[in-house]
Amino acid sequence: MNPADSIAAVATPPGAGGLAVLRLSGRHALAIADRCLRSAGGRLPSSWAPRTAVFGEIHRDDIRIDEAVITVFRGPKSFTGEDTVEIACHGGLLVTRRAFEALLAAGARPAEPGEFTCRAFLNGRMDLAQAEAVADLIHARTDRALGTARAQLAGALSRRIEALRDQLMAVLAHIEAHIDFPDEDIAPDTTAVLSSKLALALEGIEGLLKTAREGRMLRHGVRTALVGRPNAGKSSLLNRLLGHERAIVSPVAGTTRDTLEEVAQVRGIPLVLVDTAGLRESEDVVEREGIRRSRAAAEEAELILHIVDASVPWCPDEEALAATWTGKARICVANKCDLPDAHEVPGAVRVSCHTGAGMDDLEQAIEERLLSGGIAVGDDGVSIGVRHQQVLERAREAVIRTRSGLEDQATLELVAFELRVALTALGEVVGKTSVEDLLDSIFSQFCLGK
């Protein structure tokens, strides 16, 4: 990414649509815009009032390509902090491509994935944690995930990180003062005060780390296998959780012969549901392959919904099947509880995929099972990602070493070194100590035009 270049991209997804939005940003953005854009009255974009939508046209070599609504944003009051132009034209495949080619012919180069947001970070419009939240906002699949992304974009995580850095910086300043003026050792009561401040910072770091699992679930979903014997109601449960008919449901045993994946929202948690073939002994070659895939899907799953047919008495075979997934998060679901001859199934959530009875109880059981152990989003909506978790774990270990060294009267230079390690790690969360490789890794995962 060369920040000296002016970049352009189609910001809307590929394909035909009512509108397409193109973005142009950089120090020469207005000069480029003047070469290929004009208002309906012939005025050039460099003369327009900022943040005002203007009806105009896109042209190349004096050939009009399309009409468009064009908005100029002058830096630093733009998303990227640079002069930026946004163009809303008709969304046909060909007209969008021709409009984009006109921007390139006028002097722009194609933007790399995430380059607009990267420039916003580099130009101080947002910190690194907020920049990552842009991608989370785009990819959010549930209201809960959307709320977490909004909180991070608004700076909730950044504020907590800055508060932790301030706490550790105050301790470091005190220690370095004693290094610079070594006539007296740190008094025991002062050591106790500094140790308590470190303990408070450690508590704050661990509080953030507790949100890591929830963050992973909200960003990536929970892989959930629907397993059980033929005709237990696995496909029916999939359809119920999705809210629409996706899987074929049939009274014929063995209808599902391959795994089927869909994403459902349960209490704000995205579940990657994997419908599987019924588990039984079979001589059919195709069905046996489906059963093999079902067992593999169960092995890879983070949560197993074991569906049993409540119209059939609980038997040792079902018990043996349940024992297959010992050690995995599992919920037993007794389906067909609406039937008059339905049997009790020990430890199961009773539902009817036919009538919908018991589905609220099942959703509550799923939420409680996934969020057990006090794992939840922070009070301010913070829920950290994998990168944040790795960095914060480094910070936590460094703070622990700092505290131990201080209490054991280790060399103050060593104590200060460990504290700087913690501060550097915390700075990585918001990008205060970011390196080029890290930025490339993060922004390469963004979509074009963002």
Q: Report the mean per-residue pLDDT for the chain.
A: 85
So what's the pLDDT on residue 364?
92
So what's the pLDDT on residue 236?
87
**What is the CATH code for 7-127?**
3.30.1360.120
**What is the CATH code for 218-370?**
3.40.50.300
Question: What gap in Å lies between CA 221 and CA 26, rounded to an integer?
Answer: 37
So what's the pLDDT on residue 437?
64
For residues 145-166, average pLDDT: 92
Q: Do the domains spanning 7-127 and 218-370 agree at the CATH topology level?
A: no
So what's the pLDDT on residue 378?
44
Second CATH level (architecture) for the domain 131-211+381-431: Up-down Bundle (1.20)
For residues 22-30, average pLDDT: 96
So what's the pLDDT on residue 183?
59
Which residues pair with residue 137 across a beta bridge?
none
The model's pLDDT over 313-368, given as tens digits with 9 standing for 90+, comes to 777 767 777 777 777 888 999 998 888 877 787 888 999 988 999 999 999 999 88
Structure-token match 């001589």, residue found? 283
Question: What gap in Å lies between CA 438 and CA 290, rounded to an integer?
Answer: 41
So what's the pLDDT on residue 311?
84
The model's pLDDT over 370-416, given as tens digits with 9 standing for 90+, comes to 876 433 444 456 888 889 999 999 999 999 999 999 888 888 889 99
Residue 189 has pLDDT above 80, yes or no: no
Question: What gap in Å lies between CA 66 and CA 383, rounded to an integer?
Answer: 44
Residues 6+ apart with CB under 8 A from 143: 265, 268
Structural tokens at position 82: 């640079």
Helical packing angle, 115-122 and 436-443, nearest 10°: 140
User: What is the pTM (predicted TM-score) of this model?
Assistant: 0.75
Contact 426, 161 (CB under 8 A): yes
Question: What gap in Å lies between CA 407 and CA 426, rounded to an integer?
Answer: 23
So what's the pLDDT on residue 254?
47
- Domain boundaries, given as residue ranges, for the chain: 7-127, 131-211+381-431, 218-370
* Highest mean pLDDT of the ranges 71-75, 213-217, 311-315: 71-75
Structural tokens at position 305: 């919904």
What is the share, in percent, of the chain residues with pLDDT greater than 70?
Answer: 86
